[in-house]
């Protein structure tokens, strides 16, 4: 497995990581623990060293899964987790959790994550979403204290805007920004990527395969269960899926020339954008995991990269409902 460094932090990870959310959250009911343990350990054997989770995935189930499954190989891997939501016992479990990045809440969340992950220090700790009620300087300061105490090693942000990134980085060095980025969603290119390059911050794209669309296994006739997050997304309506099929057809055609899959072409395009980009495609199947890893060996030509980029710029449909989109980037 090829390795990449997360910006100028010196933290080295596999060129492709594993997003673990879907094992416990968002894509239907939580998957079988033993089956997911097998997938996680297969990932380590295949060379993946970078695993992504969060306290809100479950909630808590995903961190517990990783804590148990990866304990025997802890010295070989990097685990990233996230704080930032109100998951207190008194909250209505039927409602979406609100944001909470108050310093005391951050420290309490970290204590919980340390126990569930069965670690003494969190490798990479992200603020899951920017909290408009808490100055980012206070957030960065709290994480800086945790780093000083040895409970956290690196600080990250998720879906943060350029100004927020700069302000946070001025208090505590930001190692990585985790945000959606793929042929499916490229808003970061205009403002965020230049800031990351300037400050030496890595980009860790989640949903690098467009929540499955860029694998070529979804079309206008695909239906999603009510428990599947995609059932509520504008970009997964039959009309949007049909309009965006041309991109998948292009990826498929290029893949055939290289003996590669559609998903591998999409990931190879992403990896070719910057050497400090480390995507974390999620999967619950070892076969898909191996397929994703294969993208690191695929070298696309300059003409192919241009053609793919041009087609990707024509994607139609919003990625989130308007209300949710308003709180994703600050």
- Per the listing, tokens 């505590």 go with 172
Q: Dig out the tokens for 99 from the structure.
A: 């944001």
DSSP string for 207-239: STTGGGGGGT---TT----TTBGGGG-GGGSHH
To 5 degrees, how large is the angle CA 209–CA 210–CA 211? 95
CB atoms within 10 A of CB 36: 21
Exposed, middle or buried, 132 (CB in 10 Å: 0-12/13-18/19+)? exposed
Phi, psi of 64 (to 5 degrees): -60, -40
The yes-or-no answer on residue 57 being catalytic is yes
Please name the residue ranges forming H helices in the chain. Answer: 33-45, 61-70, 103-117, 136-148, 162-171, 188-199, 238-243, 245-258, 262-271, 286-294, 302-312, 322-325
Q: Are 265 and 296 in contact, with CB atoms under 8 Å apart? A: no
Q: Dig out the tokens for 313 from the structure.
A: 């710029």
From the candidates 57, 126, 181, 206, give the one annotated as an active-site residue. Answer: 57
Residue in 203, 205, 148 with CA at minimum distance from that of residue 172: 148
Separation of alpha carbons 202 and 6, rounded Å: 5
Helix 136-148 with 103-117: angle, nearest 10 deg: 40
> So which residues are the catalytic ones?
57
């Amino acid at each position: 497995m090829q390795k990449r460094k997360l910006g100028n932090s010196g933290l080295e990870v596999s060129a492709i990581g594993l997003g673990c959310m879907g094992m416990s959250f968002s894509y239907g009911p939580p998957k079988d623990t033993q089956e997911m343990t097998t997938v996680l350990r297969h990932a380590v054997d295949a060379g993946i060293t970078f695993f992504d989770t969060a306290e809100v995935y479950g909630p808590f189930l995903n961190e517990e899964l990783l804590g148990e499954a990866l304990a025997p190989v802890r010295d070989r891997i990097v685990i990233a987790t996230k704080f930032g939501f109100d998951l207190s016992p008194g909250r209505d479990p039927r409602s979406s959790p609100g944001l909470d990045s108050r310093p005391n809440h951050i420290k309490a969340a970290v204590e919980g994550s340390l126990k569930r992950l069965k670690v003494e220090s969190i490798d990479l700790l992200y603020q899951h979403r920017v909290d408009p009620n808490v100055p980012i300087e206070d957030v960065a300061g709290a994480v800086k204290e945790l780093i000083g105490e040895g409970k956290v090693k690196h600080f990250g942000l998720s879906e943060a805007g350029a100004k927020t990134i700069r302000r946070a980085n001025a208090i505590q060095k930001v190692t990585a920004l985790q945000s959606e980025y793929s042929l499916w969603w490229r808003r970061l290119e205009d403002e965020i990527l230049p800031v990351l390059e300037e400050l030496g911050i890595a980009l860790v794209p989640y949903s690098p395969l467009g929540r499955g669309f860029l694998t070529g296994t979804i079309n206008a006739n695909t239906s999603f269960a009510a428990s599947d997050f995609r059932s509520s997304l504008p970009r997964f309506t039959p009309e949007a899926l049909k309009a965006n099929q041309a991109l998948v057809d292009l990826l498929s055609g290029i893949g055939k020339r290289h003996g590669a899959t559609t998903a591998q072409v999409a990931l190879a395009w992403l990896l070719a954008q910057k050497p400090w980009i480390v995507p974390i495609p999620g999967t619950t199947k070892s076969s898909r995991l191996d397929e994703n890893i294969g993208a690191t060996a695929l070298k696309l030509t300059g003409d192919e990269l241009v053609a793919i980029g041009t087609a990707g710029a024509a994607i139609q449909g919003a990625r989130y409902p308007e209300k949710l989109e308003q709180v994703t980037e600050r």
